[in-house]
Each structure stands twice: as structure tokens, then as C-alpha cells.
Amino acid sequence: MVKTYENWKGDLEDYLQPGDVVDEEMADHFLNVLPPACWTAKIIQIGEPNNHIGGRATYATLEKTVEGWVYRGNCYRGETEARS
């Protein structure tokens, strides 16, 4: 099931779990809510850190896959492995 921006209510982390596929409107939100921390053809990270782990900031992360944009959780800049 694809999680949609339209159905999102409340806290992002309550709505999305790592592995959730999201719609293009959600990907656009990640890209446009703030200047992105990382933006490539395969990764979008929201520009504001969510947390700091080991002295490094983590960011809400989407990764482009064959299934579409997939939420990966909070990852270090430029990475897709959840850290928090």
C-alpha cells in the first residue's frame, strides 16, 4: 500500500515507517518543505536534522527504488540506513 501525502495527519514518524512506499506528492513535500539536506536522483532528505547520533545529524530520508519512493527513516546525510 502506498502512503499518500493527502492521508498524512499528525507526526511524520507516526505516519511513516521504514519501508513504506510513498506517493509523488509526499516526495515533493520532502523536497520542498526546506532546502533538502541531500537531493540526488535516488535520495531526498528533509533539510532539517531530526536527531543527532554519534555527533552526526540524521534526516528523514526517501530512497528511489523500483517500487517508487521508499521511506528509510532517519539517516545520516547521503545515506539510506536508518540510524534512529
What is the residue-level pLDDT of the chain in tens, covering all 84 positions? Answer: 999 999 999 999 999 999 999 999 999 999 999 999 999 999 999 999 999 999 999 999 999 999 999 999 999 999 999 996
Q: Which domain holds residue 28?
A: 2-76
Q: How far apart are CA 53 and CA 40, in angstroms?
A: 23
Ramachandran angles phi, psi of 81, nearest 5°: -100, 120
Q: How far apart are CA 11 and CA 80, in angstroms?
A: 21
> Has residue 81 been placed in a domain?
no
- What's the burial of 60, exposed, middle or buried (CB within 10 Å: 0-12/13-18/19+)? buried
> Has residue 54 been placed in a domain?
yes
pLDDT at residue number 26:
97
Cβ neighbours for 10, distance < 8 A, ≥ 6 positions apart:
none
Three-state DSSP class for residue 29: helix
Give the total number of structural domains in the chain: 1
> Has residue 37 been placed in a domain?
yes
